[in-house]
Structure 1
Amino acid sequence: MQKVNKKIKVLTIINSLNLGGIEKTMLSGLNYIEDSQIEMLYCCFSKGGALEEEYRSKGAKILYIKKTGLILLDFLQLLAIIFKNNIDLVHSRFAFTSGGFVLASKALRRKMIVSIHSTSPTSFRKFKKYLFIYRLLQLQLKVHRYLTLRYADKIIGHSTANLNAFLEKWKDDERFILLYNGIDFENLERQPKEDSNLADFVKNSHFVFLHIGSFRLPKNHFFLLKVFKSLLQDFPNSKLILVGDGELLEKAISLSKDLGIAKWVKFVGNDNEIRKYFTYSDLFIFPSLYEGFGNVVLEAQYFGIPVIASKIPALMESSFIDYQKYFFDPTDENEAAQNIKKILNDLKSHQLEDTIKKAKKHTEENFAVENMMQELSNIYIKSINENQPQL
C-alpha cells in the first residue's frame, strides 16, 4: 500500500448502523484497517442502530445528519461536518442521492467516493402511485446522478449488476471500480453453533428452510410464506425460520396466521449471530425482487447450505453457478415451489454433495472481507494522492 504523510480521515455516509449486509461488512472491516493509515468516521441519518455500540467498541466515531432529501440542505449539513472534523475523504453509500454530498466535498476540495449498492433507488418506488410527486422525484434523481457523474472521484459498484444499472458504459470511465463485498469468515466461526430453542422447534421436521433479511418489500416475505404453504402439502411438518426485523414484520406474522401456517414458522427478529440458524437448516431460500448483491447468500454457501433464490442479475454474481439452474422468477409462486422441490429431491438423493463443497471453496477464495478491505484501503489512499479535480 502506498504511504501517505498523515493518517487519512474517511467519513462514510450511511442510513444507519443496523443489521444490513453492508453495515456488517463495514464493521468486520474495522478489524483490518485499525492499524493502518486510515481513521474511519461514520455519518448516519438515524440514531440507535443495532450495531452502533459494536462500532464504538472498535474505536469508530459516529456522527449524525438529518435526512432531508434536498440537495441544498445535504450540501450545507455535510459542509459543516467536513469542516468541523477535518475530513479528508467522503465515502457516500447512497448511489442515487449523493448530489449534495458530492458538491460539499468538492467545495472544500475533499476527495469523494460514491458506492452503488443496489440497482435502483428503492425508497422512491412507494411514490409511484402519486404521479406528480414521482415525476418530481425522478427529476431530482437525475440531478443527483449528474452531479455524481460530474464530480465524484471514484464510483464503486459492489456488483456488476449495480454498475450496469447506474451507467451502461461504465467500463469506459476509469473512475468506476467493481469491488465485491466481503464476508468475515473468522467472525462467523466464533459464533455459537447450537441453540436449544431452535433445536426444539425443528425437532422431527421434514425439511427446515431459512431466510435472513429485513422485512421490507424487496425481500419478498409474503411471497415466501405463500410458497412455503404449498410446500407443506408435499413435505408436511417442515419448518421455516425467518431472521430479521422491519416495517413489514407484523404484516408477515399476520399473513402466516391467515394462511394457517403460523405453527410451522418461527420469526426470531434481529440477530447478528447467525451461525446457529444455518446449523439447523437444510435449504436457504432468498426470493428477493431486487438486490444489490446478497451477502447472506455467501454466508449460506460458506456454511454448506444449498441456496435457491430469485433469478435476478445480482444474485447470479453472489451465488455459486451450479445452484443457478434451480433459481426462479420471484413473482411466480408455482415455479418457485417446483424448483424448491427439485433441489430438495437432489439434496435427498445426495446429488448436491460435490456442489456444496465447491460452493464453499468458491466463497472462501473470492469473498474474504480482509481482501475487500485491503482493496478499499488502497482506493482511499490512491484517491488522496491523485490530483484534485476542480469545480
Structure 2
Amino acid sequence: MNQTKPVKVLQVVGAMNRAGTETMLMNVYRGIDKNKIQFDFVSYSKEESHYDDEIKSYGGKIIKLSNTWSIKEMVGKINMHGPYDAVHSHTLFNCGIANTAAQIAGVKIRIAHAHTTNDSSDSLIRKIYLKCMRKMILHSSTHLLACSKGAGHYLFGEKGVQNENYSYFPNAIDYSPFLQQDNNSEARKFKMQCGFGNNLVIGHIGRFIKAKNHLFLLRIMQCLLEKDPSVKLLLVGEGEEKKRIINEVKKVGLEKNVVFAGIRTDIPVMLQCMDAFVFPSIYEGLGLVLLEAQASGMPCIVSEAIQPEADLELGLISKQSLDEHPRIWANRIMEVVGKKEKDFLKITRAFEEKNYAVSVSIAKLMSLYSATSGGTDENYTDRLI
C-alpha cells in the first residue's frame, strides 16, 4: 500500500442524521488523523442530512444512490470515487448489496457492521429476504462487526458469529463533554426557557419511530402525574412517528407536561436537564444514548430489550419488563430520582474498562482498514458454505 496517501474508506449508511450509528461514526471521524485516513459516505437518502456539512468540512464526500438495491450502481460509485481500501457497511441486511458490489469492484476490506437486534417485520417474504441477504453478507464480507452480541446474532446468524472474522466492536463515544460542569448552567437556562422551574423532569432522547415506544412512555407519564401533577417529560429527537405522538399528547391532555425539543446538538445539556432517563425500547442494538446518559451520571430506567453491553455497571441502569404496567415503571422512576452518579473519575474508569473510548475504536478500525488482506475470497467463502 502506498503510505504517502491516506487510507480511503467508504462508509455505507442510510443517511448521516443524528442517531446512534451515525453519531458513533462521527465520533470516530472527528478523532482520526485526516492525513492518514479519509472517509467518504454513501447515503441512501435524497435529502440533506444533519452531519453532511461537517463531513464535507473534513474533506469527505456524500455519495447519493438512486437505487439502493442496484449492485451495478454501487460498483459504479465505488469505481468513480475510489479506489477504496475498505468499504464499511452499516445498513443492516442491505450490507449484502454494498459488500457484494465492493467485492466485484476489487475492494480488499469489506466490513458488515451489525447495529440492531430486530426490525419491523416478520412476514414470510421478509424471512426469505433475510435468509438470502444474510448468505450474501457472509459470502461478500471479509470482516463482521457487532455493537452487541444480540445484534451480531440477528444480522449474521449462528454460523456468522462463530466465524473467525467476527468480532465485538464497542461503540465509540466521546464521553468528556458529558462530564463538564458547564452543562449545569446551560441546563438551568434551558429549563427556565421551558418553564420547568424546579419541577421533576423525565427525559428521553431518540428518533420518533415505533421501536422507541413513545406511546408506552406517555402511559408512564400519565401514571407519574398521579404522583406529581407538575412532572415534565422532555422528548429530544425527530422522526416519522412524531406527529402521531403529538396528537396523542393532545388527546390525553398532556400538552402542559410534555416538551418536544426537536433535534439538538447540545445533548450533554439536555441530559443535565433531566432527573431520570427513560428508555422503553421494543428492541435495540445497543443504545448509544444510554452510554451518554451514564456519562452524565443519569439514572436510567430501560426495557429488557436493552443489550447487557450498554450497562457500564455504575448502578445507573434499572431494567423493567414491557409486560409490566406503566405504573410499575412510574414507581421505579420515582425511586431512582435524585440518585445521580457524581464521581466523574469513576465514570471515566468505567468507559475505559469497557473499551468505549474513541481512541480504542479508532485504533481497532485503523488496523482493519489498513490490512492488506483478510484471507482470499475463495478461502473465506469456503469456510462459510
Shared topology, TM-score over 0.5? yes
Asked whether 1:319 is paired with 2:311, we answer: yes
Do the aligned residues in 2 keep the contact of 1:302 with 1:364 (CA within 8 Å)?
no
Equivalent residue number for residue 117 of structure 2: 119
User: Which amino acid in the other structure matches residue 317 of structure 1?
Assistant: E
User: Which amino acid in the other structure matches residue 226 of structure 2?
Assistant: Q
SS in structure 1 at match of 2:256: helix
User: Which amino acid in the other structure matches residue 150 of structure 1?
Assistant: H
Asked whether 1:173 is paired with 2:176, we answer: no
Match of 1:160 among 143, 149, 155: 149
Note the 1:1-391 alignment, pairs <5 A.
6-35=5-34, 37-46=36-45, 47-68=47-68, 70=69, 73=70, 75-85=71-81, 86-110=83-107, 111-120=109-118, 122=119, 124-125=120-121, 134-165=123-154, 166-168=156-158, 170-188=160-178, 193=183, 194=186, 196-201=189-194, 203-314=196-307, 316-321=308-313, 323=315, 326-332=318-324, 333-344=326-337, 347=338, 353=341, 358-359=346-347, 361-363=349-351, 365-366=353-354, 367-382=356-371, 384-390=372-378
SS in structure 2 at match of 1:266: strand
Flag the 1:325–1:6 CA change in 2: closer, same or farther, 3 A: closer
**TM-score, normalised with respect to structure 2:** 0.87
Deviations 1:151-184 (A, max 9, x none): 2100100112211333235553111011010111
Do the aligned residues in 1 keep the contact of 2:300 with 2:317 (CA within 8 Å)?
no
- Cα distance in structure 2, aligned partners of 1:358 and 1:191: 16
Flag the 1:357–1:206 CA change in 2: closer, same or farther, 3 A: farther
Flag the 1:145–1:386 CA change in 2: closer, same or farther, 3 A: closer
* CA apart distance, 1:187: 4.9
User: Which amino acid in the other structure matches residue 108 of structure 1?
Assistant: A
User: Which amino acid in the other structure matches residue 73 of structure 2?
Assistant: Q
- Cα distance in structure 2, aligned partners of 1:230 and 1:205: 20
Equivalent residue number for residue 131 of structure 1: none
* Structure 2, gaps ≥5 residues long: none
Flag the 1:379–1:246 CA change in 2: closer, same or farther, 3 A: same
Q: Which moved more, 1:226-235 or 1:87-96?
A: 87-96
SS in structure 2 at match of 1:304: coil
Flag the 1:107–1:83 CA change in 2: closer, same or farther, 3 A: same
SS in structure 1 at match of 2:94: coil
Flag the 1:356–1:35 CA change in 2: closer, same or farther, 3 A: closer
SS in structure 2 at match of 1:268: strand
Q: CA RMSD in A?
A: 2.6
Do the aligned residues in 1 keep the contact of 2:178 with 2:295 (CA within 8 Å)?
no
* CA apart distance, 1:98: 2.2
* CA apart distance, 1:90: 1.1
- Cα distance in structure 1, aligned partners of 2:132 and 2:226: 51
* CA apart distance, 1:337: 2.2
- Cα distance in structure 2, aligned partners of 1:5 and 1:354: 46
Point out 4+ residue stretches in structure 1 off by more than 6 angstroms: 189-192, 354-357
SS in structure 2 at match of 1:41: strand
Do the aligned residues in 1 keep the contact of 2:302 with 2:317 (CA within 8 Å)?
no
Do the aligned residues in 2 keep the contact of 1:12 with 1:42 (CA within 8 Å)?
yes
Deviations 1:257-314 (A, max 9, x none): 2121210111011112212212221111111110111111111111111111111252
Do the aligned residues in 1 keep the contact of 2:27 with 2:358 (CA within 8 Å)?
yes
Deviations 1:79-138 (A, max 9, x none): 101111222321110231222222222222213110000112x2x52xx5xxxxx32232
Do the aligned residues in 1 keep the contact of 2:237 with 2:261 (CA within 8 Å)?
yes
